[in-house]
Chain A
Amino acid sequence: MKKTPLNAVHHELGAKMVDFGGWEMPVQYTGILDEHEAVRTGAGLFDVSHMGEFTFRGPDTVKMLQSTTCNDVSKIVNGRAQYNGLLYPTATFVDDLLVYKNADNDYFAVVNASNIDKDFEWFQEIAKGMEVELVNRSDEYALLALQGPKALALLQPLTGTDLSPLKYYAFANGTVDGAKAILSRTGYTGEDGFEIFLDPGDAPRIMKKLIELGAKPCGLGARDTLRLEAKMALYGNDIDHTTTPLEADLGWIVKLEKGDFNGRDVLQREKAEGPRRKLVGFEMVDRGIARHGYPVVEGSEEIGVVTSGTHSPTLKKAIGLAYLPLDKSAPGTEFMVLIREKETRARVVPTPFYKRAK
């Protein structure tokens, strides 16, 4: 199994480790519920070093990125990041990713761990014949996510970068406790917070320092419940090579007017006619938890599928995401999920399930 530069720290902290797509990662340290709570009320710290980083340089960088993504890369200003979809010509997802702009013709992207090789090959294919220097730097970075309402106050004393003016989805080059770092005001929890890119050699010391200052180490278990409450899509669950951004209710990252790109014709048609199905949030009406892969049924017919589901620690009820036919996707609509062969009632609800107070 692959290990992040923080693997030994996780073992020292007594984390429960699991195989996550070929990576040995902490699923929890003390428990999902209290780690979740720490992020909603204080500050939690996640090792997300397994994620991939690519850099793009050269005169055709924007042209190359634009041709295979659905959001408008030309709109990113220096020092900002953008959520985007990397698409096949079928308009379905190769991956979802964050694209960061350092300067003109100087970008980098953060991609899902399980997709690093696939994404890199895809970019290489797209970049053929273009003037783009594409480098996979995934092994050159450790990545820590410090998340929660107290993240800023906790991190500020360790860095010379003034964090308050840094906007959501903005980043800056700086230091953390003397270590070279990229500080990005991004995350996957629905809270304020920072993702901190570090040299692998510095990461264990910085992780321990942040914990010493009060950050609670959190595992992938809490990361999943947090992102689901905030309705952030998980590749492999809610989106994949069979789903389009419009089906996934990610219309806000689809910029048809930006010019041609992979899948644009498909998305244009879906936008005009409505997608065949839509990803909706639901909560359970009957008792039980509908989880990834459970079918949505109507009589003997399978009409949809649950893509994510859990017990929401903040709302204290069972929530989830499911693909439903468009005409059954309005909030308030009830539907049946098959939980261990038993028809169980669920109801479409508005999302996100949780939104932090501003």
Chain B
Amino acid sequence: MTTPEDSKYAKSHEYLHFDEKEGVGTIGITEYAQKELGDVVFVELPQVGTQLEAGDELGSIESVKAVSELFCPVSGEIVEVNEALADKPELVNTDPYGDGWMVRIRLSDPTEMDELMMNAEEYEEYIQTEAGH
């Protein structure tokens, strides 16, 4: 499993890839999370312009098997939503860090990333503990 080093990770398995120049972060779910969920068939996301606090519900992901909530790892405003997921939710499975991204958020306080999120190494340790092996 490759966890991109240039992103941050939440305990609820969202990643955030921050573009410093833009002040905007891309959020999706991790490779580990998509595997755990199985085939994704529907992703419900907020509208552009929605203001969210860190820990707020960001949306939901339906796999064939179950529904999971998606949490917003940082505070900010949603500036873009991945419209491609409406027709091709399976992108979350096939390319979670690429075409399967979910939203872009303008961070209101970028220091939250370091306070609230893990780096790749910490996240890998975390999922190994969580998976129990």
* A and B are interacting partners: yes
What per-residue 1/0 map shows which CB atoms of B61-94 lie under 8 Å from chain A? Answer: 0111111000000000000000000000000000
B64 close to A225 (CB less than 8 A): yes
User: In the bound complex, what is the Cα–Cα distance between A31 and B92 (angstroms)?
Assistant: 14
A288 lies within 8 A of chain B by Cβ:
yes
On whether the beta carbons of B65 and A288 are closer than 8 Å, the reply is no
Structural contact, B60 and A221, CB atoms closer than 8 A: no
Stretch of B36-44, B96-104, B105-113 lying at the A interface: B36-44
B64 contacts which of A16, A33, A340 (Cβ < 8 Å)?
Answer: A33
A128 sits at the interface (CB 8 A)? no
- Compute how far the CA of A27 lies from the CA of B41 in the bound complex, rounded to whole angstroms: 17
Closest chain A residue to B89, Cβ basis: A311
Chain A residues near B44 (CB-CB < 8 A): 287-288
A289 CB-CB contact with B under 8 Å: yes
**With A27-B65, A291-B67 in contact, is A221–B38 under 8 Å at CB?**
yes
Please determine whether A287 and B42 come into contact, CB atoms closer than 8 angstroms. yes
Query: A204 contacts the other chain (Cβ, under 8 Å)?
Result: no
Shortest CB distance A337–B (Å): 13
- Closest partner residue, chain B, to A31 (CB atom): B39
Q: Are A311 and B67 in contact (CB under 8 A)?
A: no
- Minimum CB–CB distance from A306 to chain B (whole Å) comes to 13
What does DSSP make chain A's interface, helix, strand, loop or mixed? mixed
Bound-complex Cα distance A318 to B42 (A): 10
- Asked if A32 and B65 make an inter-chain contact with CB atoms under 8 angstroms apart, the answer reads yes
Cβ 8 A contact of A313, one of B60, B64, B67: B64
Residues of A within 8 A of B67 (CB): 289, 291, 340
A28 partner residues in chain B, CB cutoff 8 A: 38
**Residues in B neighbouring A92, C-beta threshold 8 A:** none
Contact A32 B62 (CB under 8 A): no
In the complex, how many residues of chain B place their beta carbon closer than 8 angstroms to a beta carbon of chain A?
12
Report if A310 contacts B (CB, 8 A): yes
* A-B Cβ contacts below 8 A, count: 37
Q: Which of A1-47 contact B (CB under 8 A)?
A: 16, 27-28, 31-33
A32, closest chain B residue (CB): B64
Tell me the minimal C-beta distance from A132 to chain B in angstroms. 41
In the complex, what residues of A have CB within 8 A of residue B66's CB? 291
- Minimum distance in angstroms from A1 CB to a CB of chain B: 14
Query: How long is the Cα–Cα vector from A252 to B44 in the complex, in angstroms?
Result: 40
A221, B42: Cβ atoms closer than 8 Å: no
Other-chain residue from A33, A225, A311, A313 in contact with B62 (beta carbon distance below 8 A) = A311
Closest to A291 in B: B67
**Within the complex, what minimum Cβ distance (angstroms) separates B9 from chain A?**
22
Scan residues 273-324 of chain A and give those whose CB is less than 8 A from a CB of chain B.
287-289, 291, 310-311, 313, 318
| Cβ B38 vs Cβ A32 within 8 A | yes
In the complex, which residues of chain B have a beta carbon less than 8 angstroms from the beta carbon of A221?
Answer: 38, 64-65
**Chain B contacts of A289 at CB under 8 A?**
41-42, 62, 67
Q: Which residues of A contact B41 (CB under 8 A)?
A: 289, 311
Query: Are B42 and A32 neighbours in the complex by a CB distance under 8 Å?
Result: no
Minimum distance in angstroms from B100 CB to a CB of chain A: 15
B28-69 toward A: CB 8 Å interface, digit per residue (1/0)? Answer: 000000000011011010000000000000001011111100
Query: Among residues 240 to 296 in chain A, which have CB atoms less than 8 Å away from a CB atom of chain B?
Result: 287-289, 291
Give Cα A271–Cα B63 distance, bound, in whole angstroms.
Answer: 39
CB contacts (< 8 Å) of B64 on chain A: these are 32-33, 221, 225, 310-311, 313
Whose C-beta in chain B lies nearest to the C-beta of A289? B62
Alpha-carbon gap, A289 to B43, bound state (A) = 11
Q: State in angstroms the CA–CA spacing of A31 and B62 once bound together.
A: 14
Q: Is the CB of A32 within 8 A of B39?
A: yes
Among A27, A311, A313, A340, the residue within 8 A (CB) of B42 is A311
List the 9 closest A-B pairs by CB distance, nearest first. Answer: A311-B41, A32-B64, A33-B39, A289-B62, A311-B64, A31-B39, A221-B65, A32-B39, A32-B38
Which residues of A are at the interface with B, using a C-beta cutoff of 8 A?
16, 27-28, 31-33, 221, 225, 287-289, 291, 310-311, 313, 318, 340
22 contacts across the A-B interface (CB closer than 8 A): A27-B65, A28-B38, A31-B39, A32-B39, A32-B64, A32-B65, A33-B64, A221-B38, A221-B65, A225-B64, A287-B42, A287-B44, A288-B62, A289-B41, A289-B42, A291-B66, A291-B67, A310-B65, A311-B41, A313-B64, A340-B60, A340-B67
